[in-house]
Every structure is written in structure tokens, then in C-alpha cells.
Chain A
Amino acid sequence: MKSKFVLVVLMALLTLSIPARAQLVIEITSGADQLLPVAVVPFGYTGSTPLPEDVAGIVQSDLLRSGVFQAIPRENMLSLPTSAKDVFYRDWRLLKADYVLVGNVDANANGTYRITYELVNVLTQKRVGNKEALDVKPSNFRDAAHFISDKIYEQLTGIRGAFSTRILYVTAEGNKAAPTFKLQVADADGYRPQVVVSSQEPILSPSWSADGRYIAYVMFRNRRPNIFIQELATGKQQQLAQFRGLNGAPAWSPDGKKLALVLSKDNNPEIYTLDIATKKLERMTNHYSIDTEPSWEPDGNGIIFTSDRGGNPQIYRLDVKSKSVERVTFEGELNTRARLTPDGRYLVTVQKNDGNYHIALQDMKTGRVQVLTQTYLDESPSIAPNGSMVMYATTENSKGILAVVSVDGLVKYKLPSADGDVREPAWSPYFK
């Protein structure tokens, strides 16, 4: 007990002394049995100035986190080829690698670097795709690595990679009784966090526009919740809703023109849509119960939302045209804050069973429900744009952290942070 306390204090001191290094760190806590073995060979480089990032190392981390691959450890590698023609296939057969990624970095004359890479199939001894080349600035090495990961993931799985996407999340730092709230944006792997907005009052419910250029969120001002939208590149902020009562849960429509949101200006929480250009407000639900947490169907024809109109909170679907409402979830003591996968096939909810809150997945075709997580007080699920992973907020050691689970429930990892409580993740769409 005593030693534990000392450890906590030491960690707190470390955190205070190195705030700049307090970034999210990936931990693989469990993995699937059938993982595709890939060797990501350190990229060649003969220059004298050190490179800003280990591109191959970032690619390897990306591939591991996807839950589709396992990596051949670098220390086991028998050779370190930097191009396909130098690959000695017997070395890789011995290591039971199915695929080998090789690459090279060269300094260009103008201060940029040329990164070349090739993926080879050990069984066929052939290159998969072409030899590719990227010219990048030193500050874009991580982008280049995620780009390469996306390409490899797509070549080997047929599914578009989501490594170049980003995440929004909220941190509450400092004195728990009076924390500083920060809305932050980071790479999907948690690196390169940047503060978007900082406030002494709560921030919640960040949401991305469909093109990833804008975000919406709830921020309190003068002890009242307001909805803001903001252009990420410029930081230009616009206050969109400041009605009496609730101003909550903004969700961008797939066409980018409207926000679904929750207002209680007409007494109790109802779903509305707000046309961002014309500011025209349309009330979508009309019920004396709580209606909240709207989220659009990928085609924009329906809005799924949480309502306790049936007694306890469950998920309902609202038809945007007719405004008719039908119940969607039936399993579990309650289901809240639903999100649909981009193909509309699966519904992810926060489900309560026996007092525990976990992330659940409902197959919209078969109705089958699977609880995906076993962590504590799970909430705020957000789905990767390729539908492969769900990021959510959970509590570990009395601290809010972000965690990720694959939609099949087999792969899980956590993104712990040294900067206080982390919550409310929102996974970006593809940027192009």
C-alpha cells in the first residue's frame, strides 16, 4: 500500500516536470490469434544528420494497432534490405514472415527527404504494387509513415486504412475541483496533440464535419452550455446555439449543411436540426421524455438518438422526412449514445448490464448484440472511418483514458495519458 502511494507521487512529479512529453502511448493488451506476419525492415539512410522520425517504426506500430498484423521483431531480422531486389527470401521464410516492407530515405538538395518503399510477398517472391516514392519535409515524416501504413493496409486487406486520420478528445487537467478543460486534436495514434480550445469551464461532445475541416462542440460560458463550430485550420470560431436550457450533442449531417443538436428551449430535451448557412431551426422530435445524443445515418435519411420514452433509455431511429420514430435497441438495461458504422451495418452503443457500462455492437441486419468491452464505465464510442475500430472513453485507476476495440471485439488497446482525465474521443472522417 505504502509503495503504491510513493509511486503515484513520483508519477505526478514526472508529469509536472515534463508536460511537453505527455503524449498518448499505445499498449496492446490482447490480440487475435490469426495475425498476418509482416516484417517492417528499418528504412535505409546514409545521411549524416539524424532523421526526425523512424518511419519504419511508425509503420510497424500502425500495423500492429490495426489488429490485422503481427510484426517480426527487428532484433530477429537476419538481413536489413532497403529495396526489393536486395531481399533474400530465405531469411524471411525462416522468420515466417508473409510480407516484407523495405524502404529507403535520401536527403534531397532542398531540405526535403525522398522516402521510397516496396512491399514484397515472401511466398510469391514478388512485389505487391509498385515501388513508391514520397518527397516530404522533416515535419511531415509521421504523415508519410501513416500514408505508407494506409497503403499497405489497403493492399493486404482490401479495406482503406485509417492511420492518417485524427482524433478529437477532451482533457481535464489540474486540480480536480477546478480543472482546465482542453479540446485537443491529435493523430489517430495519439501523437502530435494540439490544443484547439482551452477553458476553465466544461467542454464536451466534439464532433467532426464530414470533410474533416470543421468541428462542433459544447463549451460552457458563464456557467451555461453553448454550441460552437470551428474551422480547424484557421481556428475561426462561431457560436451557433445559446438558447435557454440545454444546447448539446451537436452532430454534423453527412452533407455538411446541418447540425443535429439537442435543445430544451421548448421545455424538455428535443432533437432539432440547424441549417448552418441559414440558421433555420427545425424541431425533429416531440415527446415529453428525454431525447438526446443524435447521430446521422451515413445516407442522411435518418437520425438515431437516445430516448427514455419507453421507460429507460434506448436507441430510436428518426426518419428525417416523415419524423416518424421507431425503436432500435431492445437488449440490455439501457442503451445510449449510438453510432453507426460507415456502411450502416452495425450500431455501437453504451449498454448497461448488471450495473456495468460497456460498449456493445448490434448487427442491424440480424439484430445480434455483442458486448465488446470489459473495462470500467465505458462511454463515448466513436468509430474509425473504415469501420474497423471503435475508440471510447473508460476509467482506469480513477483516471479517464481512451481505449480502442476492434468491431469484432478481438483487438484492444489503451491510449493512456499523463495529462489528467482524457474523455470524449471523436474519430475524424477521411480527409480526402
Chain B
Amino acid sequence: MSVSKLGKFAVVGLSAAWLAGCSTTATESDNSAVAEEGAATETTESADDMAASDDATYAAGEDGAVSSVIVEDEEAMAAQMQDVDPLAGVSTVFYFDFDKSIVRPAAREALAKHADFLINNPDARIVLEGHADERGTREYNMALGERRAKAVMRYLTIQGVAASQIETVSFGEEVPVAFGHDDASWQLNRRVEVRYE
């Protein structure tokens, strides 16, 4: 747990250093090596890592309007946790279309791994935290974030996970991980995060 506290923020310009940092996490599954245990207390930091990494895949090469991003050095931490954590490397963040709450096919493999883990560890508890992008009103987005979390919950319970292991919570648009006002940022913010309690 305390390992995540070692994760330090580093603010860097849109520079070679940033691009190099992101190139090591070019795929979704790599991105989400943000460790579950650590994420439980430091979720916003892990989310930053997500945002920064995915900016590379979604928005790299754009006009350079983004002048700075926040990157967290978590690679060492992720490597350490791989030895002990059967879910290391499994995505904990799942994305949604605008105004939609349908679990994407791309999410199925990772969700199946979470389902297996939860079935094999009936004492394990997760919170599914739903989020929306900034467009639309705040309380409606609270409802939309919950609808997304419930969609993921439904997917997991269909796999055989007990409903009692899952809680859904919505943050609406209140906790974005990307701060632009564009499609790339909005896509990153429309998400459900799996948090192990």
C-alpha cells in the first residue's frame, strides 16, 4: 500500500521526455498496470498515469495545444507488484461511448479476469466507480456514471460473481482524469474504474 506513496508527480512539458515515458505504455493493458491495492488509496494518481499514457494513443501528434501533462512514475511499483498480484497487468479502467453505458467488447477479456478473481476469492470486494465527461449537467452525469458502473456490474454478475461482492458508485463528471475540452479527453473521462476494497 505504502508503495504507491513513493509515486512522485512530475510535471513535464510536451517534450521528448514525456513522449518517451508514454511509449513504454502504449497499449491499454499496459496502461492499467496501475496496481489495484495502491489505487485503492491513490486512485487519482493512477488515473493521471492513465490519462497521460492514453493521451499518447488518442491524442499524440495533435497541434500541441497541450502544454503540460502530469506523469507519475509507477513502473517500478507495477513491476514489484506483479510478483504478488494475480491481477497485475489486468486493466482496471473501462471506457464508454458518449451518453452510452454499453460495455465494449474490448473490455471483456479483462473483466473476465476480474470475474475469475472475484469468484475464486469470495471475500474480495470491489467498488465500480462510474464517471462521465464534462458535457451535460452534473447530476445527470452522476446518474449516467452510475448506469455505466451498473453495466459493468451486470457483466460481472453474469460471469458468476456474487452481487454482494460489488458496490457501484458514481462520481459523475466531478473527477476527470484528462482536462482538455476535446474528444480525446472526454473519451478518457467516460469510464468505470474497478477498485478493490
A interface, CB within 8 angstroms of B: 5, 175-178, 202, 204-205, 220, 223-225, 244-246, 248-249, 262, 264, 268-269, 290, 292-293, 306, 313, 334, 336-337, 350, 352, 357, 376-377, 379-380, 395, 398, 423-424
Q: For the complex, what is the distance from the CA of A262 to the CA of B145, rounded to whole Å?
A: 14
Nearest chain-B residue to A244 (Cβ)? B167
> Which residues of B sit under 8 angstroms from A377, Cβ to Cβ?
134-135, 181
Taking A248-B142, A293-B137 as known contacts, 11 extra A-B pairs with beta carbons closer than 8 A to each other, sorted by chain A number, are A176-B176, A177-B47, A202-B171, A202-B175, A220-B174, A245-B168, A292-B143, A337-B137, A337-B140, A379-B136, A423-B138
> Which residues of B sit under 8 angstroms from A249, Cβ to Cβ?
139, 142
Chain B interfacial residues counted at CB < 8 A: 35
Q: Which 8 A-B pairs have the closest CB atoms?
A: A202-B174, A290-B143, A337-B137, A249-B139, A336-B137, A269-B143, A293-B139, A292-B143
Is there contact, CB below 8 Å, between B140 and A290? yes
Q: For the complex, what is the distance from the CA of A248 to the CA of B141, rounded to whole Å?
A: 11
Total A-B residue contacts, Cβ distance less than 8 Å: 102
Nearest chain-A residue to B171 (Cβ)? A202
> Which residues of B sit under 8 angstroms from A395, Cβ to Cβ?
134, 181
Partner of B142, one of A292, A357, A379: A292
Is there contact, CB below 8 Å, between A204 and B179? no
Q: Report if A379-B137 is in contact (Cβ < 8 Å); known contacts: A5-B67, A177-B45.
A: yes
B39 to chain A, nearest CB (A): 12
Q: For the complex, what is the distance from the CA of A137 to the CA of B45, rounded to whole Å?
A: 49
Nearest chain-A residue to B72 (Cβ)? A177
Partner of B181, one of A177, A225, A248, A398: A398
Q: For the complex, what is the distance from the CA of A248 to the CA of B144, rounded to whole Å?
A: 13
**Is the contact region of chain A dominated by helix, strand, or loop, or is it mixed?**
strand
Partner of B44, one of A178, A245, A336, A352: A178
Is there contact, CB below 8 Å, between A262 and B179? no
> Which residues of A sit under 8 angstroms from B152, Cβ to Cβ?
none
**Contact of B28 with A by CB under 8 A:** no
Q: Report if A336-B140 is in contact (Cβ < 8 Å); known contacts: A204-B174, A264-B146.
A: yes
B10 to chain A, nearest CB (A): 12
**Contact of B127 with A by CB under 8 A:** yes
Q: Report if A177-B67 is in contact (Cβ < 8 Å); known contacts: A246-B142, A246-B170.
A: no
**Contact of B74 with A by CB under 8 A:** no
**Contact of B37 with A by CB under 8 A:** no
